[in-house]
Structure 1
Amino acid sequence: MRKHDRRIPLPKSTHKRHSGTTTMTPTRASLILLALAAPLLAQDTRTVIEPTLPPICTTLTAQLTSPISPENEAKLDTARIQKALDNCTRGHAVALRADATHNAFLSGPLELRANVTLLVEKDAILFASRDPKLYETAPGSCGLVNQERNGCKPLLSAKHISRAAVMGEGAIDGRGGATLLNRSVTWWDLAEQARPSGRQQVPRILVADYADDFTLYRITLKNSPNFHVVYNHGDGFTVWGLRIDTPKRGARNTDGVDPGSSKNITITHSFIRTGDDNVAIKGGDPISHMTVAHNHFYYGHGMSIGSETNGGVNNILVTDLSLDGPDNGLRIKSNGSRGGLVRDVTYDDVCIRNSPNPITLDSSYTANGPLQGSSPPTFRDITLRNVRVSGGGKITFNGYDHTHRVAATLNNVLTTDSTPYTYLLQHADVTLNSSNLTPPTGTDSTTQGTPTPGTPASCSEKFVPFPEK
């Protein structure tokens, strides 16, 4: 599923866009550009190749039809899917397949296996059960609001294994907005009830922990009760051609992809719209060497780092990204209770439109933890290059204090319309090169360079419709 080459990047001309999809030259169809003009270390150190589908060890045929009717809610496929995963030959896949009259599988928690792929084929849908009891980590722990952690198992888990994968042209639906069995609430209702100080005990679709060389390929994830994908403590995570499709409102805490405490991560050729962060890089423990390339994000809370940065975040490259209508565009967020050093982050070739907060580097993030504390954040060596913004909004460079600052260099960062923009600068050092932003004098802040008109490249080919199925 992956190839190593830490030295030789491909030229940008090996890929091109066409009508919202990506086509590549036949001789290099599986290779993604990782270096561009950025330093080699500011990215995934692997040369990532497009995954291929492994041979099938077992094919399971759907016995249910979408949508799942109430009388079929007890007809679980959990046991037969788990048995197939347990017995699958390494390097092979368990295929979930639709037939002429049935397209649905219904399951509780499943455990993925080392070097085995769960393949959800075209037209097949794996639905998560609505029964909280199936996800309990302890009796009565799932489907409520309290202050505890980890009351629910995820639908799919990959723990202490390597080379596992989830692939296919089908979909996995977490059913976050569906009423729970024998209850009058949905998973998302519990998330709303948890405001402002509680914690909803609800499942996630996929959690991979200590799972090196994990792959997500061309799968659609929908309606997760909580985060869609969490990847922690791993080396080597490839997300290629992922679609995440979850409502904008009423689906609280439904982050798209959340990598944390890991290294060598690539998210590419993916389309994400959801009720929270499209991607959130979590730095509770150190995370480094990550590439986010050739993606389209829609509504959501943007391309985020944080709010946990106390373990350190470094060597991140975000390139060839469109952000169309998100609540936030490019965002680094933290506060004094969970802050640390964020450094060597490069954003290159990014188009943002119709976001109230297109660029936000903020050390006063209020949603998690007190603003002041013993772990203050510092953001430095942050480079924004070839970033185009339209639709107005607020641009923020907000450091923590005189010692813990935000330092950013803006190269060819341009607003492309006459819509008014507002600015916040505090404990910040901003350098403008060929950029037309006009930040005012800020509190304990410096601005070097003079705003210039610039000539922005077109964003017309980047803003493409979400690929409906």
Structure 2
Amino acid sequence: MLPALISMILLGAVLLAAPAQAQDRRAVSEPSLPVQLCATLSPSPASAEGRWPEETQRLQSAINHCPSGGAVRLVADAQGGRFLSGPLTMKSGVTLWIDRGAILSAVPDPRAYDTGARLCGSVAAKGSGCLPFISFKGTTGGGIVGDGEIDGQGGAVMVGHDETWWQIARRADREGGKQNNPRLIQADHARDLTFYRITLRNAANFHVMLDEVEGATFWGVKIDTPADARNTDGIDPSASQDITIVHSYIRAGDDNIAIKAGKGATRHVSILDDHFYWGHGLSIGSETNAGVSDILVSAVTLDGTASGLRIKSDVSRGGLVTRVRYEDVCLRDNQKPIDFDTRYDASAWGLSIPVYEAISLHDVTGADGTLILRGHDGDHPLTVQFDGVRFGQGATWQVENVELSAGPGGVSPTPPGLTLTPAAGPPPDCGGRWAPFPE
């Protein structure tokens, strides 16, 4: 017997194109490195000797005294390129330029990030005990650029402890509490941020969190953290709009990208020509209660992510996810290449029903794995359109409470109950699309 309430519709004409608004509404072009420098700094003896409060004060002072439109440039010298610092707060219009060979390292001392409750570096009932390493609070313009690195030192043993940040996260998972680890970069109520060519490594928690941000560009960014580093999401836009992530490479210990909508709607996001490796996938959710819409994912590869294209929520945090278009996507070595699930936590309770509608996949190619399409119920089905979607013959479908439609490119293997004439011609060739992570 077929899963309950499956409605299949074959479209005789081409699949409708994505609405024009289903992407970042800004005209985004490649950023450039700053031309106006207000300070050029090399590591001080304080950094080399571990007197991080002094180095933090020096870096923060340079940022504070830099006028809008200027940049603070960190460079390596004959003694090295490592700057050891505590939390830094960015200023409107100021860019932090980390040059090739320079590494801005987050000091692994929980006291540096503690918000006053003495929870940072612990497992507790709440998980908000740490300041982020780099903060953008209410800023306009500026960002972080350069061919250097920011190292969160998530794998370093914390000062005064016998655990690393990542071990704290794993212990929280075992004990059922909340980890109190600092995020690497957090932007709150900010506008027009730029992240260009920078490498982010070893975050203790999320690498980049955007909360109520209007306009942010990630271009040529690399994020690199071990696969077993729990809760180290790559880039998480939340309650934000007009975000572009392009020409970037992400491997992380959790979601490569997670588009969230807990406190406010997230919409108009473009994810273009990116490469994802280990991690939990290119995700929407799990907080979708305020609504996610107008998302374009185009010309990306997902090489070894656990889930591939993923939408996840449940009745404790569900909302409307609509106008999401995936096109020209290549997947391989994924346990769940497609994972659209309205019952992410089967034990969750609440009245916030997840609704996924107007989801389209065009020229999506993958291998074997489990393909999940799970709507909430017959009154709230998941609606998906396919055109030129091909997976290996060993791929299996799990389909429940859905309305499926297909254009002339079809879908293979055919979901249960949908009758299609096989599409003519070979599937798109992904052979030249795969790219190794740039070491």
Deviates more, 1:337-346 or 1:195-204: 195-204
Any idea what the Cα deviations from partners look like across 1:216-258, whole Å, max 9, x if unmatched?
A: 1110000000000001112101111100010112x00000000
Matched, 1:261 2:239: yes
In 2: Cα distance, 1:161 partner to 1:371 partner = 37
In 2: Cα distance, 1:345 partner to 1:117 partner = 32
Matched, 1:60 2:41: yes
- Partner residue in 1 for 2:348: 371
Given that 1:430 and 1:448 are in contact with CA atoms closer than 8 Å, whether structure 2 keeps it comes out as no
- Partner residue in 1 for 2:210: 231
- Partner residue in 1 for 2:429: 458
Deviation (angstroms), 1:214: 0.9
Matched, 1:429 2:403: yes
In 1: Cα distance, 2:298 partner to 2:45 partner = 42
- Partner residue in 2 for 1:176: 154
Any idea what the Cα deviations from partners look like across 1:272-308, whole Å, max 9, x if unmatched?
A: 0111111110011201111000111111111100001
- Partner residue in 1 for 2:14: none
Deviation (angstroms), 1:371: 3.0
* Alignment equivalent of 1:313, drawn from 289, 292, 295: 292
In 1: Cα distance, 2:260 partner to 2:420 partner = 32
- Partner residue in 2 for 1:438: 413
* Alignment equivalent of 2:369, drawn from 387, 393, 411: 393
Distance 1:52 1:425, change over 3 A: same
Q: Which ranges of structure 1 fall in alignment gaps of 5 or more residues? A: 1-36
In 2: Cα distance, 1:453 partner to 1:389 partner = 18
Any idea what the Cα deviations from partners look like across 1:186-212, whole Å, max 9, x if unmatched?
A: 100111111152110000110001110
* Alignment equivalent of 1:42, drawn from 3, 17, 22: 22
Query: Larger relative contact order (C-alpha < 8 A, sep ≥ 6)?
Result: 2
Within a 5 Å distance, the mapping from 1:154-193 to structure 2 comes to 154-193=132-171
In 1: Cα distance, 2:226 partner to 2:119 partner = 26
Amino acid in the other structure paired with 1:56:
L
Deviation (angstroms), 1:164: 2.3
Given that 2:390 and 2:413 are in contact with CA atoms closer than 8 Å, whether structure 1 keeps it comes out as no
In 2: Cα distance, 1:307 partner to 1:448 partner = 33
Task: Give the fraction of aligned pairs with identical amino acids, expressed as a percent.
Answer: 44
Deviation (angstroms), 1:39: 2.6
In 1: Cα distance, 2:361 partner to 2:298 partner = 10
- Partner residue in 2 for 1:380: 357
- Partner residue in 2 for 1:130: 108
Amino acid in the other structure paired with 1:408:
V
In 2: Cα distance, 1:174 partner to 1:414 partner = 39
- Partner residue in 2 for 1:107: 85
In 1: Cα distance, 2:240 partner to 2:419 partner = 35
In 1: Cα distance, 2:96 partner to 2:415 partner = 53
Given that 1:95 and 1:120 are in contact with CA atoms closer than 8 Å, whether structure 2 keeps it comes out as yes
SS at 1:290 equivalent: strand
Distance 1:51 1:363, change over 3 A: same
Any idea what the Cα deviations from partners look like across 1:95-139, whole Å, max 9, x if unmatched?
A: 111012221001111000000001111100000001100101114
SS at 2:57 equivalent: helix
Amino acid in the other structure paired with 2:138:
H
Amino acid in the other structure paired with 1:427:
N
- Partner residue in 1 for 2:8: none
* Alignment equivalent of 1:83, drawn from 61, 71, 74: 61
Deviation (angstroms), 1:52: 1.3
Given that 1:431 and 1:448 are in contact with CA atoms closer than 8 Å, whether structure 2 keeps it comes out as no
In 1: Cα distance, 2:195 partner to 2:358 partner = 31
* Alignment equivalent of 1:345, drawn from 303, 309, 324: 324
SS at 1:192 equivalent: helix
Q: Which ranges of structure 2 fall in alignment gaps of 5 or more residues? A: 1-16
Distance 1:76 1:404, change over 3 A: farther
SS at 1:467 equivalent: coil
Given that 1:244 and 1:256 are in contact with CA atoms closer than 8 Å, whether structure 2 keeps it comes out as yes
Given that 1:307 and 1:332 are in contact with CA atoms closer than 8 Å, whether structure 2 keeps it comes out as yes
TM-score between both structures, scaled by the size of structure 1 = 0.86
In 1: Cα distance, 2:209 partner to 2:276 partner = 18
TM-score between both structures, scaled by the size of structure 2 = 0.92
- Partner residue in 2 for 1:21: none
In 2: Cα distance, 1:262 partner to 1:139 partner = 29
Deviation (angstroms), 1:449: 4.5
Distance 1:195 1:229, change over 3 A: same
Aligned residues: 419
In 2: Cα distance, 1:174 partner to 1:397 partner = 36
